[in-house]
Amino acid sequence: PRTVAQAKSLDQMMEKRGEKLDHIVELKVDEKALFARIDNRAAEAKAGGAAVRADDTPEILKKRIAVYREQTQPILPYY
């Protein structure tokens, strides 16, 4: 699930099956490494004559990180 609402729905679905979620996995990645990866991928694409992916920009990554913090990160204390 990506939101607490989705987590609650998943819990209800699993409860009907007699199952329970008892573990979650959180991947922690250095944000600087994420930005560097985008920069490297863009540089490699340009060097190879390929188009840079439209969603591979620092601005899009900043938005994705903000959405994660707002919508997904609250799942951690929920579980």
DSSP string, 14-51: HHHTT------------HHHHHHHHHHHHHHHHHTTPP
User: How many other C-beta atoms are found inside a 10 Å radius of the C-beta of residue 62?
Assistant: 12
Report the pLDDT value the prediction gives residue 5, as an integer from 0 to 100: 97
Report the pLDDT value the prediction gives residue 75, as an integer from 0 to 100: 93
| pTM for the predicted model, two decimal places | 0.80
Rounded mean pLDDT for each run of 10 residues along the chain, 79 residues in total:
95 96 89 95 90 89 96 93
Rounded distance between C-alpha atoms, residue 42 and residue 51, angstroms: 8
Report the pLDDT value the prediction gives residue 47, as an integer from 0 to 100: 92
Rounded distance between C-alpha atoms, residue 44 and residue 31, angstroms: 20
Report the pLDDT value the prediction gives residue 56, as an integer from 0 to 100: 85
Rounded distance between C-alpha atoms, residue 4 and residue 19, angstroms: 18
